[in-house]
Amino acid sequence: MQLAARCQNLQKRYGDVVAVDGLSLEVRSGECFGLLGPNGAGKTTTIEILEGLLAPDGGDVEVLGFRWNAHERELRQRLGIQLQETQFTDKLTVEETLRLFRSFYDRGKSIDELLALVELESKRRSWVVKLSGGQKQRLSIACALAGDPDLLFLDEPTTGLDPQSRRQLWDILARFRAAGGSVLMTTHYMDEAQVLCDRVAIVDHGRVIAEGTPKELIASLGAPKVVVHEGTLEDVFMLLTGRHLRDD
């Protein structure tokens, strides 16, 4: 099986807090893999280790067949990364921001293609500060796609967006995948994971507690537990991670 990313027995602690505790996962080429989990479960830490932004305390990471310490430059050329909370420069336009990011890559789409891909042609000359939340997120995705990546990392890409913007992002992702790209994403939305992800891993306390296709996981709930409505991924999630709040 061809793998886009793989990590084994990943460990990361911040002082006394263990953020990732022996986590292993495999993202297959061409699939969309979802990392689900409550706040503080270790999703962002895991994805940032895979993105080469954080060094793990232990464990093994391989992305597109490369290791970070040996081939950082090649990897960066072939990965698309969207981070939580990136604020692009307020007073640059959409086009200027895209040009900047595009200039870092040796290959990739033209600015016009990127604008069309995320449907921001009409906002081409608008300052970033004037964009809506959904438009900013689409710009962020366009910057991640600037180098025509083989693997796209998305960390909570639709958090805080209105339903229309979410659907628009789903469409962009569908197009990226139709062209053969692999995706590793985190999300809080179970419906989103159910629609977008081929396989998901549910993470809690820094380790994977369940893994499989959304269908498999829902089926694993078993009939007796689902009485009033058809089982959803959300049922699986709540069953496994409990109902108490995780407000960090």
208 near 202, Cβ under 8 Å?
A: yes
Binding track, positions 171-210, relative to other proteins; x by CB under 8 A: --------xxxx----------------------------
Instruction: Give the three-class secondary structure for 70.
Output: helix
* 244: DSSP letter: S
Listed ranges 74-82, 165-173, 208-216, 233-241: which one lies at the site for other proteins (CB under 8 A):
74-82
Number of C-beta neighbours around residue 150 at 10 A = 18
| Residues between 115 and 134 with contacts to other proteins, criterion CB under 8 A | none
* 112 counts as binding other proteins under rule CB under 8 A: yes
| Residues between 23 and 52 with contacts to other proteins, criterion CB under 8 A | 29-30, 51-52
What residue spans of 51-132 are helical by DSSP H? 68-78, 94-102, 111-117
139 near 131, Cβ under 8 Å?
A: yes
Q: In angstroms, what is the minimal distance from the CB of 197 to other proteins?
A: 19
* 53 counts as binding other proteins under rule CB under 8 A: yes
- 29 Cβ contact partners less than 8 Å away, ≥ 6 residues apart: 2, 3, 4, 182
Exposed, middle or buried: residue 160 (CB in 10 Å: 0-12, 13-18, 19+)? exposed
Closest CB to other proteins among residues 145, 210? 145
Q: Pick one of 18, 92, 195, 221: the residue that binds other proteins (CB under 8 A).
A: 92
Q: By CB under 8 A, name the binding residues for other proteins.
A: 2-4, 29-30, 51-53, 64-67, 70-71, 73-74, 76-79, 81, 83, 85-89, 91-92, 96, 99-114, 143, 146-148, 150-151, 179-182
